Structure 1
Amino acid sequence: MRSIEVHEVHIPRRARLLAKTASRMALYAAERFFKRLIKRGVDPEEHVKTIRSASGHYALYIHMPFCHRPLCTFCCFVRYPFHEKRHREYIDALLQEISWLASTAEGAHIETLYIGGGTPSIDVYSLARVIDAVREAFGGKVQVSTEANPRDLTDEAVSVLRSAGVSRLSIGVQALEQKRLLELGRLNNTVEDVYRAVDLVKGKFETVNIDIIWGIRSDTPAVVAREAARALSLPVDQVTFYPLMPAPGLRELEKKRREGPWHPLEHRLYGVILGEALSRGFRPATPWCMDRGSRLIDEYVVDYDKFLALGISGIGRVGSYVYVNTFSLEKYSRLVRERGFPTVIGSMVSTNSDMLYYSFTAAFGLRWPPPRIDLYGLRGYLLASTGSAVLKLLGERRGSNKITQPGSLYLLHSIQRSIYMAVNMLREYGMQVQI
């Protein structure tokens, strides 16, 4: 095999040490938060009252849970094998929930709609119905981002998505070598599907993103550099490099295999991703998303600290109120029929939890200090000052609110990975007990 030049950015030792400690602290704190949240249930009257109070600019997330068989083994999102009757029933309930939310949260202005899964593109006509329903219910101009499996992207599917007003298409590539797809347990599309799909959508959407997964046990700096170079050479606007983020069940299996979950060369793998991106004119929009200058990214929570959620397993945030929808398909349809909404967990969170969430999402968007940290008074000032001191230690310039240094990016990657691993704990639990 022909060798390639590897562009690797050095991650300083102090950043690696900070990341190792911070990531474990973040995982412990976030899992503790979600375990406590699970126990609280929801007060339906308080939930409706809180949703009714929503006002101002919001993002909206909609979950489409159905996927091609076989289901990917690396994925921790809530998903079910596609079944035509269950899918049809789900879409009917989802349209009803959209109507309920629009009539309840009348003061909320939806600016961005993000549709994830699952595999939203598994039925593009139903997907278009959902997008049209959101626009009709909420009015105004809505930017639409949706995920897609490369095998679903045909001329007809692309035409339907364009007609529905999709502005950002995120293609779940995951790997550009068949061997890596097999190792990830991604068996429902091929590498040939990827290249065909990317060529097909070129120039047809405002933003095209592809996702790549890294951190599997066979990864080395050379392997990841080759994968990153291939991905970044494609005619796309963004490449988002997601680390593996195993839920507790998979983490326990990895522990028995003595594999992780943290890859022993994680800092070097991240260093080559960053190096390959920078060498090709990409810049980090987040520690994971390498961007040519597009507007929308995968992580809508970076730009919106308030977001509503529809569909099974959706997680929303209205002020300091956090809510979670049911993980059960049967319960979802029943609850929407009975009362309009499928929420099973809903609670106000503490000021400290609210501040930490807001601050970490701002930092993940590479901004520090967070723009509105002063709203948290003295504790906000102390957090901002501490964060600034840590970032200065990692080489950030005093007075700049843009995070750019490799050590800082690696630290934020490690923390956010742990937070999302805790969210995956919630998803795993929700699927197991079907709350």
Structure 2
Amino acid sequence: MRKYWKSMAIVIGIVLGIGTFYVNSAMSAENYPDFAIQTLSGDPEEVESLVLDGSYIISSPANYVSTDLKITAQGSSYHSRSFLDRIIGYYPTVIKELQEEHRTFMRGKHPMVNLFFEDNEFLAYAYADHRISSLGPNNFNFEISVLNKADDKVNSFTLEVPDEENVNHVFVIDVQLVEDTIYIITQNMMRNNEGFNDEMHIYEIDLVSQELTNNEALLKYTQWNEDIHTHIQLVENSPTAANKHIILLKMEEAMMEAAESIRVTDSKQEIIFYNLATKENETVNVPGLSLEENQLSFVEGSTIYFTRIEEQELIITPYRLGENQVDQDFRIQLQATIENEPLQIPMISVKEGKLYVVSYQMDSNSNGDVVVVDIQTGKTLFEGQIALETSSEEQGKFELYLNEIYIN
């Protein structure tokens, strides 16, 4: 019996720890406040489909409480994650809904939004798997599954990643489905004679024959080259939405090593547009617009949108790709400010021609902005704030961090 006492003590400790976790969560839940999206102007129906996910935090020398919450037009609800969920991590709302609607298909899939594509007919998934040996990663394969929603049939197969002997890593960053072709956009680390280089890559796979039909490196670059750091970002609106083109933001920063840190001495940005149908790419030059001052924030159809902050205004500049035209700015007055912190560009999402703007953060001294704008006209359809439904001194200090906008 003695040789088992350590194992028994560990098990008892885990059980007590989990029990304490749930007791503390239940006791704390009684004091959680109610948040609401309050209307300042416009039509409240514009936020009926809006879902905000975030974290509510109370931090003091004597206590620390953090729990997940969801805020909608109907109010707020708290959903403390289980002990296991907190270890595994956060699942985006898109993944949660896919798991509920297509439970069988989603079983065993990695819960990352960028691995999925969905439209009215299909739900597609692609993942780059590999093995680890004493020589490092090898045996790279694409795991591909496509669900036909009409008959619930699933087309699943595996393909070897080409040029596997020179591949050190493959990260899937987007999946697109156009007719019978699935496009897998990846960021690859490739071996070469001098070490490693990076590639933004695109693979085309025919779903009928289950064969690779095209394999192309969109960009080749080195992340760290002497004192230059290069970063490539895929720009999109909804990760699961259908797009017939790819927009990449290339950023180069010149770095200088100081006494105790590394600082950026110069930077430049470049926008690259790639058409999936024609396989043509071009560098986008936006006339009269500085990319250092304007952030490329989102895409809607063939229009890309830049944002910047001026005092308390969010300024949005649309640029139509096909016509090489910058449209009129539209301005959104922001109300919320965090004391002693600069105003940041808020969370932005677009759906069905409407722009949703939501503050990332609020606290016990400030509310959060919620604005809905018609992106065709620039007209503000709704202006409101995330605020406590009832405020009192007993509530004390808190912080609210929002990490996701979801529109049903």
Could you say which structure has the larger radius of gyration? 2
Identify, as 1 or 2, the structure richer in helix: 1
- The structure whose RCO (Cα within 8 Å, separation 6+) is larger is 1
Note whether the superposition's TM-score is higher than 0.5: no
Q: TM (normalized to structure 2)?
A: 0.29
